[in-house]
Amino acid sequence: MNRAMQALRDKKSFVGEGDVETAAVDLDSEKAVLSTEREIATHIISVDDDPTLNPWTFRAFFIGLGLSTFGGVLAEIYYFKPQTVLVSLMFLAIISYVLGVFME
């Protein structure tokens, strides 16, 4: 029973070998040229996460509730108009990123 519980815990662990993909390239070698988009992204963007930080911040709630209200109100207003205007989720995501960086 103890082995089964340990195996289940290992399976449900958030930190695993296959969870994070990193690009391990020695900058002095000839392989320093990154050829694919995935290699460039994993080389530039940090994939380390601090699980001790609290994700429930004022900024997250303020931006999330504000932009969801903005998108919902615009969708409701323009639903009854002859010309429908759609607010893209990509637009809201980019605006939320800009506001999040501004509020940092």
Kindly report, residue by residue over 46-76, the tens digit of the pLDDT. 777 788 888 899 999 999 999 999 988 988 8
Q: How far is CA 102 from CA 41, 81, 96, in A?
A: 23, 34, 10
- Listed by start position, the domains of the chain span 1-51, 54-104
Average pLDDT score over the chain: 77
What type of residue sits at position 84? T
Give the mean model confidence (pLDDT) for residues 92-102.
93
- C-alpha dihedral (17, 54, 38, 31), degrees to nearest 10: -70
